[in-house]
Structure 1
Amino acid sequence: MILYWLRTDVRIDDNPALEAAARLAVGKGEPLVAAFIETPEQWQQHDRSAIQIDFLQRHVQLIADKLNEFNISLIFKTAKDFKHQLELCLDICKQHDITHVFVNSELEINEVDRDKAFETLLNQQDIEFSSYEADVVLPKGQVLNKQHEMYRVFTPFKREWLSVAINQGFQLADSKQALTDYYQSKLKTQINEPTNIEFTAQKVDSSQWPLITNVKNELIPDFYERIIVRYPDDRDIPSIEGTSKLSPYLAIGALSARRLVSQLIHTVPNILDNTSIPEFSWLNQLIWRDFYRNLLFHYPNLCKHNNFNSKYDGLDWPNNGFLFKAWKEGKTGYPIVDAAMRQLVQTGWMHNRLRMIVASFLTKHLLIDWRLGEQFFAQHLIDVDLANNNGGWQWAAGTGCDAQPYFRIFNPITQSQRFDPEGNFLRSYLPELKNFSNKDIHFPHKAIKTEKLKVYWPAIVDHKTARENALDFYKRSE
């Protein structure tokens, strides 16, 4: 048999490893089998959120059902960590006389090391191993500067990314056709595997997020048809549906970024040549995603919680426990921060503008190490992705590549007034402030004193004082 090892690539569409496995199976006349091996202890070590684990389980079940339609069984196993995962995968290979293993590569350093070790083990057993790239639009390492090095600033990376996309293009895997050919070949795996996938890892209900099939059939067409033209204006307003909300599907590999860009080019043919049109604003976010994944590829030590900019290694973060607890619980006294943190904890998601605001507040106002914020996000976000999470937090903290400079400190009050002027988002997560005026709701403490009400907690820091403290703190490393 031939084995396709499923990991962070839970999709049929544009799946290069699955396409190659199916084509080889037909060519050699060997049945194809798939496997997924959960690693609950490893996920816990990596702070993978329980809501994303549930979301992943639902999509593993979906792809198991889809593969079964093509006469391909999915073997499901549980391993505590990556070492045990390799042992189980090797057992599968021996048990089913596997001649060739196909995977889509994973970017993070532990996953890279695991795959290198697995390839060595397979070679010792005379089993072939093939790895493909399925997580970016353009191949990692292809967008480089004139010195053949990774860009350290996004804008020139974007210009070169567009140049490569225009001149060289990109290829989507025709995995659906390969599976159809496999089905028609009459090959079939004779393995009696349970049809219900049930993870042992801790889960939180993710059912408010539809399966990718619904997203492809309804949400993506609606986004391209109706929302994307307003994206530049609406994407920063947390009270409206102004974003695509596709990040959870990209994070687990249920959706292909290449497919999204391909569909976008089909919808807006001149988008790669015209950066001024509204739709480009959304494509820009997908290029940012490629940028952060390229950073992790070229600088794998970012996986080890290192500052990208080493000059900030000497920062002695105070990490006040009381302030950190207030931030996590949404009790800072700054409504936009508190509402955003409640959204995160209650729903497993946070609007992107709010992510920037709360990250700036934690690192600049409270002087708490960005790594603690990164970890808290990882533990709660349904769309957690190490490259994006690390890149975003280091951007906010001023320690990263192409980072927000340390002296740029978001004012949470003016951010709230600008992006939620009528307080609609604030009222949806802070019902205790529902009766405050649109003027007072963004920082209601004066009104609270006037009314002598205790409906909201005091501000844990003063904005002006916190800003001055942050400037002094960062200057020590300049």
Structure 2
Amino acid sequence: MTRLVWFRNDFRVHDNPALMHARRDNEEDCLAITFVCESQWRRHGLGDRRINLIKQAINGLHRSLEKLGIPLLVIQSDLFKDSENDLRHVLGALDVSELNYNIEYEINERHRDISVCRLCQEYEVSTNKFHDQCLLAPGEVRTQNNDPYRVYSPFRRSWLSLMQDYCPAPLGAPAPQASDIISAAVSDLINDRHALPESVSDPLWSTDENTAHQRLSEFLDSDVLRYHDLRDLPDAEGTSRLSFHLALGILSPRQCIHTAWQRNNCMLSGGEQGIDTWINELIWREFYRHLLVAYPQLCKHKAFKPETEGVPWRNNKSDFDRWCRGETGYPIVDAAMKQLLDQGWMHNRLRMITAMFLTKHLLIDWRWGEAWFFEQLVDADLASNNGGWQWSASTGADGAPYFRIFNPTTQSEKFDKQGLFISRYLPELAKLSAKSKHFPSAGERSLYGYCDPIVEHKSARERALTAFKQTLEA
């Protein structure tokens, strides 16, 4: 008999509940399986860089599993429906007793898993499903009326209350499997269907699991103590940059929160301010996943607040293209967009500034920006990306009213005081004074070859306020 463990968005051997369950004893051999569904990933909006990193993570997982004596069967399946057919072939070729996997919360993935469960019933294979993307599974944090929370702050209070200042320890890696336990049928199947994906090493982003553990430890040993002071400053190395590892499942949220909890004198709040603040960001991540399950329309490009579907977005393609290229004439916005193109990543404060600029200043549909970010980001994550964009667009789960509109110039002056971040990505402005870097004069723009502002802040703000007010009062 063979136990299957299906790797999806959890490319790690430590703290992997599905893997650990499949290797709970030595009574049956264990076979790992994963599907490279490149066409499906592109349909979902992932870009070249992220897809390459997924393939890189699969190759790294193969090496890690090899050390544990667990073969990894990699199947090129193109679309989810193809992976179901390929799984049928595997179940037919092997004497499989069970299929183990960690749950994905997106709606297409959930529909796929319903079909997979039916397939397993047909072959009399048991299915074991585990929550590994949240410490508290979606549906476990609810209001007194048993409704899902729609605003973050009460969700956080309830989440902390349920956790009771305790974080369960992450699982280790499973014990190695004896190499001679692998059946001839498994070996034949791997020889017939196995094909590791080709990938190119990315100089900025490592998919190595040990490297992720090292970065987590380094951040929590020192950098986190100033996190609350530095996390909003784009020129400072003040963030963990672990969102990439979380998005690919190279690290688990439990590994992150448990390690932070240990460093925080075994407290989830009320300890070191920097650690408290970082844990708070991880709870935001959980909140958006809970929303994704409670409100499946979020997976269908619908506004969380249905009354905002009628906002008269301008959707000017020329303006959108200038925003994408970082040519809006607002230095902090343009520098941020160029960081995105250069690194496949953007500082979180800048994600808010650029998203609010697109949706409020340019009055362009948040879905356009959400899709662009998802294509460019190495840490692309539907729940967090959708949640952040809808928060910025005032269409999402947020207690603040629609008239919160960031002034990009004052944001720049506050969080990049000396214009160092601007100078890095807009070197043509490097010779300007710190004050001028935030919003150069017409003469300075002409002299240094920097574009004119795409819109005037005050009039754009009034236009957005009018559009939202008329929609919501109609």
Give TM-score scaled by structure 2 length: 0.94
Equivalent of residue 43 in structure 1, options 32, 41, 44? 41
Q: Deviations over 1:207-264 (max 9, x none)?
A: 3112343434532222111110100110001111100000011011110101111111
Unaligned ranges ≥5, structure 1: none
Counterparts of 2:117 and 2:367 in 1: how far apart (Å)?
32
Report what 1:267 is aligned to.
Answer: 263
Aligned pair in 2 of structure 1 residues 214, 109: CA closer, same or farther (>3 Å)?
A: same
Equivalent of residue 326 in structure 1, options 306, 311, 322? 322
Report what 1:233 is aligned to.
Answer: 229
Q: Deviations over 1:330-369 (max 9, x none)?
A: 0000000000000101110000000000000000000000
SS across alignment from 2:222: helix
After superposition, residues 129-208 of structure 1 pair within 5 angstroms as 129-166=127-164, 169=166, 171-172=168-169, 174-176=171-173, 179-180=174-175, 183=177, 187-190=181-184, 191=187, 193=190, 197-199=196-198, 206-208=202-204
Deviates further, 401-410 or 431-440: 401-410
Shift, 1:122, TM fit = 1.4
Q: Deviations over 1:65-98 (max 9, x none)?
A: 1111121110111112110011011111211222
Code of the residue aligned with 2:427 in structure 1: it is: P
Report what 1:16 is aligned to.
Answer: 17
Aligned pair in 2 of structure 1 residues 459, 423: CA closer, same or farther (>3 Å)?
A: same
Counterparts of 2:319 and 2:448 in 1: how far apart (Å)?
20
Asked whether 1:442 is paired with 2:461, we answer: no
Code of the residue aligned with 1:303 in structure 2: it is: C
Counterpart contact for 1:396–1:404, Cα < 8 Å:
no
Code of the residue aligned with 2:112 in structure 1: it is: R
Deviates further, 280-289 or 158-167: 158-167
Counterparts of 1:217 and 1:124 in 2: how far apart (Å)?
40
Counterparts of 1:273 and 1:383 in 2: how far apart (Å)?
26
Aligned pair in 2 of structure 1 residues 275, 307: CA closer, same or farther (>3 Å)?
A: farther
Equivalent of residue 384 in structure 1, options 380, 393, 398? 380
Deviates further, 81-90 or 135-144: 135-144
Counterparts of 2:179 and 2:403 in 1: how far apart (Å)?
63
Report what 1:7 is aligned to.
Answer: 8
Give TM-score scaled by structure 1 length: 0.93
Unaligned ranges ≥5, structure 2: none
Asked whether 1:415 is paired with 2:411, we answer: yes
Aligned pair in 2 of structure 1 residues 204, 368: CA closer, same or farther (>3 Å)?
A: farther
Shift, 1:99, TM fit = 1.9
Asked whether 1:74 is paired with 2:72, we answer: yes
> Between Structure 1 and Structure 2, how many residues are aligned?
466
Equivalent of residue 421 in structure 2, options 418, 422, 425? 425
Counterparts of 2:322 and 2:54 in 1: how far apart (Å)?
31
Aligned pair in 2 of structure 1 residues 66, 350: CA closer, same or farther (>3 Å)?
A: same
Among the aligned pairs, what percent are the same residue?
Answer: 39
SS across alignment from 1:134: coil
Counterparts of 1:78 and 1:186 in 2: how far apart (Å)?
27
Equivalent of residue 59 in structure 1, options 44, 57, 60? 57
Shift, 1:62, TM fit = 1.4
Aligned pair in 2 of structure 1 residues 205, 475: CA closer, same or farther (>3 Å)?
A: farther
Code of the residue aligned with 1:41 in structure 2: it is: S
After superposition, residues 252-263 of structure 1 pair within 5 angstroms as 252-263=248-259
Asked whether 1:477 is paired with 2:474, we answer: no
RMSD: 1.9
Equivalent of residue 402 in structure 2, options 406, 409, 424? 406
After superposition, residues 272-311 of structure 1 pair within 5 angstroms as 272-274=268-270, 277-311=273-307
Shift, 1:324, TM fit = 0.5
